[in-house]
């Protein structure tokens, strides 16, 4: 049985040292960690083998096995991720605002670490190194709770990272892994409010819902994406087909993939055959309303549930609307506030959509697949936030920080 | 029995109209509401009388009765509050960042309303108008759950505000009040995640803890303040006494009042008599550790519990330390991340304190009493956030907003 309180205390205890590290010291440590991962790839792959053996014995699906599997190339990619984080600018200490008040006191709003961040995720061992890198660079201690199916892999990776920072004189408790795979431990972790400032669930909608339900720590929800492309009556139909092809099929299992097409009645009959032809090479199943099925004979009738489903598969739901207002209402009803797109040549319609659709990222004539820290130019990200507090959209380094007000004076008192 | 789902739906339904209101329309409505409150002061005071009658019958303390009582002057102050919010700049639509990517797409980070805000508070009817004003100006619909002891007062105020906006063609559901005083309704409200984007508890530590425990909606904690003043060995002792007098006694029941003195051993014997003399006219009870009691014979021995207590009274705990490190560790252990102060002439010590003390506002030679939206120049506030996500310190208009990314392009797809 892990003592979570003790882990919490240890995380809090490293905060002062972590906060005092210079940018150079942090970058040096990140690069050393990258090297160490590669140097220890054999051990890591051996540990991963234990997880895979158990996974096979338990009948884990091929897809999940693939997510769990570590190879030399994948460990190299993890290492490269740490090096990329080292290259990103250090935003800590940035003065966001400075105000001199009439009484002479000077108020500075300064960027600071959040403190201790907890991350709960599934059997994706690459998240272990990624999360450490982003949290470490932003001066945050991190406590990880990975999926139990990846426990040996995670232990091996964490051991390498902890040993590496320790060799550089940094307390290894900047990174801790909860090794107890008991569900009750996970729930207890979600209530470790005294020590943990932020909890980020990464994974399935079910995992996220469980964290939201149980956590007393502030949570940032990430990654559920029921994303729509709306083809307006004034759309360039070739462009629309190209964007949907990309948003739907460029990568199928990702949160910014398009799951639903909303189409204006005025272009329905002309556009659907173009779309069907464009998607044909990818064998995308279309599930549409009656008006869609009238045009496309292969179309499967859509149920209400289809419009609420994030397929992560070669399936696209289709809904016909008679106005942009109806399109916006439909999207605001079913979307997960992730990424939404309008295709139109009508600037007024576009601006209405950009304003009224409630999502982290709203696109005009651009594929939803760009919702990504690297594509936005922010660098590596810890996830895509789909809620409205603190951070929305790609969560990179800045989004893993908070601020404090520092007020300097010479004896001011309030009258 | 109130139908909370229906209230949630109604709040969501007003969002588009609310978001489309111009700054002028919003300001006009706020000023009309201010006038209407004054015009209806008789009704409001009559309703408040019903609450007060019941309060007296139930043996409510004088202090709480005072907080509940509305007078002409207090209604005028509520109205003035709304007028002040009308005068503040409208931050919605502000472009926080604009990035053109190599592929030509333009990413704009734009300030938007949060959506629907829930506020749970105690029997302080003035919060009703304040909360409405701030949320309305920032384009947020608001659902209020006030203390049951103030139910008639709140109903009267909300009726006036709703009627006034409705006369201006604005849907009254921009402001809704939960009139069911049943505890189970409050708990149900805390789980109305489908409709409510943010929940702000305003009130006692107990109320806040209950919201944190039960809510599935993101919460911002406000207002618990166990604030310290640390008198360093290099302090100007006259200044220190002046700051503590102000921070402790200028207003006793507020969250930014000083509750604890931390004193460096090197100045203990010299400073404590100065402090005792300075505080004597205000009859402040000192509760100190052994070294404090050695110097001051009136000193009451402090228990561990004293250091964790927000007195909101003429009581000050005192702790002696042998170093600034010990002072910082003590404060980081017992504080509520609200407002902390160091008094020193040593710039290096001050900067260490400003950096290492974990609080929303950290002061150097300034009274903690300045943690306040007006004192910071931000205008009216919904509360002082004591957590690190989204907003820290005074929460004014900007802190009641979120952002979205709007991405404009001409057919970009991801390669």
Task: Kindly report, residue by residue over B340-383, the tens digit of the pLDDT.
Answer: 999 999 999 999 999 999 999 999 999 999 999 999 998 889 99
Q: What does B21-50 look like in DSSP terms, one character per residue?
A: --HHHHHHHHHHHHHHHHHTHHHHHHHHHH
Measured in angstroms, the CA of B232 and the nearest CA of chain A are apart by 14
CB-closest option in B218, B239, B405 to A411: B239
Over chain A, what is the mean pLDDT?
Answer: 95
How many CB atoms within 10 Å of residue A216? Answer: 18
What are the tokens at A36? Answer: 């160490």
Cβ(A119)–Cβ(A202) under 8 Å? Answer: yes
Q: B123 falls in which pLDDT band (50, 70, 90)? A: confident
Measured in angstroms, the CA of A164 and the nearest CA of chain B are apart by 26
pLDDT of residue A245: 98
pLDDT of residue B110: 98
Over chain B, what is the mean pLDDT?
Answer: 95
Cβ(A260)–Cβ(A319) under 8 Å? Answer: yes
Helix spans in A1-40 (H) = 4-20, 23-39
ipTM of the complex: 0.94
Q: Is the pLDDT of residue B152 over 80?
A: yes
Q: A346 falls in which pLDDT band (50, 70, 90)? A: very high
Measured in angstroms, the CA of B339 and the nearest CA of chain A are apart by 9
What average pLDDT score do residues A99-124 get? 96
0.90 surpassed by pTM: yes
Cross-chain residue pair A402–B392, CB shorter than 8 Å: yes
Distance from chain centroid for Cα A343: 25
Q: A204 falls in which pLDDT band (50, 70, 90)? A: confident
B280 phi and psi angles, rounded to 5 deg: -50, -45
Q: A369 falls in which pLDDT band (50, 70, 90)? A: very high
- Three-state DSSP at A210 gives helix
What average pLDDT score do residues B395-400 get? 95
Residue B343's nearest CA partner among B227, B222, B242, B251 is: B242
Q: B1 falls in which pLDDT band (50, 70, 90)? A: low
pLDDT of residue A1: 60
Q: Measured on CA atoms in the order A385, A391, A393, A398, is the torsion positive or negative?
A: negative
Q: Is the pLDDT of residue A182 over 90?
A: no
* Same fold for the pair A4-222+390-408 and A227-374: no
Cβ(B408)–Cβ(B106) under 8 Å? Answer: yes
Residue A132's nearest CA partner among A156, A155, A161 is: A161
What average pLDDT score do residues B380-400 get? 93
What average pLDDT score do residues A206-210 get? 90
Give me the residue label for tokens 């789909």.
A386
Measured in angstroms, the CA of A143 and the nearest CA of chain B are apart by 17
- Residue A357 burial (CB < 10 Å; 0-12/13-18/19+)? buried
pLDDT of residue A140: 98
Give me the residue label for tokens 């190879």.
A71
Q: Report whether CATH 2.60.40.10 matches the domain A227-374.
A: no
Q: Is the pLDDT of residue A154 over 80?
A: yes
Give me the residue label for tokens 């107990």.
B206
pLDDT of residue A224: 87
pLDDT in tens, B99-116: 999 999 999 999 999 999
CB-closest option in A243, A369, A410 to B365: A410
**Which of the listed CATH numbers 3.40.50.720, 3.40.605.10, 3.40.50.9100, 3.40.640.10 matches domain A4-222+390-408?**
3.40.605.10
What are the tokens at B17? Answer: 């109209």
What average pLDDT score do residues A172-181 get? 95
Cross-chain residue pair B376–A212, CB shorter than 8 Å: no
Q: B243 falls in which pLDDT band (50, 70, 90)? A: very high
Percent of chain A scoring above 70 in pLDDT: 100
CB-closest option in A356, A366, A404 to B360: A404
Cβ(B234)–Cβ(B345) under 8 Å? Answer: yes
Contacts of B19 in chain A (CB under 8 A): 355-356
Q: Is the pLDDT of residue B34 over 70?
A: yes
pLDDT in tens, B176-202: 999 988 889 999 999 999 999 999 998
Cross-chain residue pair B407–A362, CB shorter than 8 Å: yes
Give me the residue label for tokens 């409709």.
B195
Q: Which 8-state DSSP code applies to residue B219?
A: B
pLDDT of residue B2: 75
Distance of alpha carbon B55 from alpha carbon A235, whole angstroms: 64
- Three-state DSSP at B415 gives coil
Give the torsion through C-alpha atoms of B36, B38, B44, B48, to 10 deg: 140
Domain boundaries along the sequence of chain A: 4-222+390-408, 227-374
């Amino acid at each position: 049985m892990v003592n979570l309180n003790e882990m919490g205390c240890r995380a809090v205890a490293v905060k002062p040292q972590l906060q005092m590290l210079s940018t150079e010291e942090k970058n040096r440590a990140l690069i050393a960690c990258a090297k160490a991962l590669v140097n220890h790839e054999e051990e890591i792959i051996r540990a991963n083998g234990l997880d895979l053996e158990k996974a096979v014995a338990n009948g884990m699906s091929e897809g999940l096995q693939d997510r769990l599997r570590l190879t030399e190339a994948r460990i190299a990619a993890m290492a490269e991720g740490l090096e990329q984080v080292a290259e990103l600018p250090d935003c800590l200490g940035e003065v966001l605002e400075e105000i001199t008040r009439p009484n002479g006191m000077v108020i500075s709003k300064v960027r600071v670490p959040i403190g201790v961040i907890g991350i709960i995720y599934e059997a994706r061992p690459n998240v272990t190194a990624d999360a450490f890198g982003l949290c470490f660079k932003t001066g945050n201690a991190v406590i990880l709770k990975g999926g139990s199916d990846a426990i040996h892999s995670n232990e091996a990776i964490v051991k390498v990272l902890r040993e590496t920072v320790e060799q550089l004189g940094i307390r290894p408790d900047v990174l801790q892994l909860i090794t107890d795979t008991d569900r009750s431990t996970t729930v207890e972790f979600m209530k470790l409010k005294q020590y943990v400032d932020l909890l980020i669930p990464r994974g399935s909608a079910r995992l996220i819902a469980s964290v939201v339900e149980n956590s007393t720590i502030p949570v940032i929800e990430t990654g559920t994406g029921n994303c729509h492309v709306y083809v307006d009556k004034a759309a360039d139909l070739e462009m629309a087909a190209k964007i949907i092809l990309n948003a739907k099929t460029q990568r199928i299992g990702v949160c910014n993939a398009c799951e639903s097409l909303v189409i204006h009645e005025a272009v329905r009959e002309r556009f659907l055959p173009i779309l069907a032809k464009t998607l044909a090479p990818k064998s995308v199943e279309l599930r549409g309303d009656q008006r869609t099925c009238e045009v496309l004979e292969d179309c499967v009738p859509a149920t209400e549930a289809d419009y609420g489903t994030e397929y992560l598969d070669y399936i696209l739901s289709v809904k016909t609307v008679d106005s942009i207002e109806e399109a916006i209402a439909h999207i605001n009803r079913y979307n997960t506030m992730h990424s939404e797109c309008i295709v139109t040549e009508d600037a007024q319609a576009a601006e209405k959509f950009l304003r009224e659709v409630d999502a982290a990222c709203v696109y005009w004539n651009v594929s939803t697949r760009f919702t990504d820290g690297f594509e936005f130019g922010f660098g590596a990200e810890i996830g895509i936030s789909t809620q409205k507090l603190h951070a929305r959209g790609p969560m990179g380094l800045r989004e893993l920080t908070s601020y404090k007000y520092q007020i300097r004076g010479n004896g001011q008192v309030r009258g």
